[in-house]
Amino acid sequence: MKFNDLIKKRYSNRKFKDMPVEKEKILEVIEAGRNAPSAHNFQPWHFIVITNEEGRKKVSEAYPKNWFKSAPVIVVACGNHDESWKRDDEKDHCDIDIAIAVDHMTLAATDIGLGTCWVCAFDAEKCHKILELPENLEVIALMPMGYPLEDKVVEKKRKAIDEIVSWEEYKKS
Ligand SMILES: Cc1cc2nc3c(=O)[nH]c(=O)nc-3n(C[C@H](O)[C@H](O)[C@H](O)COP(=O)(O)O)c2cc1C
């Protein structure tokens, strides 16, 4: 598949088949995240892969939606603030690094027929507590994953190019 077609094929899937995902496939997705770029190549990420029902139920307490609970895999994408690069003005690049890795993973998953969805609207404090994480780890995103219930193509609702690009200098659209 051409890369731009893959990008268009990915969509936020919120309906999963009640079917486990093979470990090799999960690892293929994680491998895409592992190969993502990061500031200074510090790779300040840690991915907790939850496949057992009890664990998924527990994490769902931080994002209590039925569709989320039904995902056979939940990847908890954590950022390690002790390892992330900070610019001279102290800007911590943890969020950016983890976002790139998760984006790589959503695309890799799409490529092998899996559906994913970004989830950030969870209760961060609760999630941290449930997973018994150390202070330096922050849950940046949850990525439920599984085989999509439907085989569908979702049309992207996006701003037009003219609205988001200015050439040579900033122009308000
Ligand atoms: C950083 C981020 C956070 C998001 N958080 C959630 C979320 O908490 N729950 C949810 O259902 N979708 C969430 N989404 C999915 C967006 O709603 C979705 O990407 C957007 O509507 C575009 O649709 P598409 O992914 O199908 O192209 C999130 C997406 C991103 C990039």
Q: Which residues line ligand 1 (CB under 6 A)?
A: 11-12, 117-121, 154, 156
- Section 97-121 average pLDDT: 98
**Alpha-carbon distance values, 127 to 55, 87, 143 (Å):** 12, 28, 13
- Section 101-121 average pLDDT: 98
What is the spatial distance between Cα 26 and Cα 84, in angstroms, rounded to a whole number? 25
- Section 67-94 average pLDDT: 98
Q: What's the predicted TM-score (pTM) here?
A: 0.98
Protein residue with least CA distance to atom 17, ligand 1:
12
Ligand 1 centroid from CA 134, angstroms: 27
The DSSP bridge partners found for residue 139 are 78
- Section 72-95 average pLDDT: 98
pLDDT (0 to 100) of residue 173: 77
Ligand 1 centroid from CA 119, angstroms: 6
By CB neighbour count within 10 A (0-12 exposed, 13-18 middle, 19+ buried), where does 2 fall? exposed
pLDDT tens string 1-60: 899 999 999 999 999 999 999 999 999 999 999 999 999 999 999 999 999 999 999 999
Q: Is the dihedral of CA 101, 106, 111, 114 positive or negative?
A: positive
Protein residue with least CA distance to atom 27, ligand 1:
11
Q: Do residues 131 and 59 lie in contact, with contact meaning Cβ atoms separated by under 8 Å?
A: yes
- Section 76-83 average pLDDT: 98
Which pair of tokens denotes residue 113?
């027929």
pLDDT tens string 135-173: 999 999 999 999 999 999 999 999 999 999 999 999 987
What is the spatial distance between Cα 131 and Cα 59, in angstroms, rounded to a whole number? 8
Whether 65 shows a pLDDT value over 80: the answer reads yes
pLDDT (0 to 100) of residue 2: 96
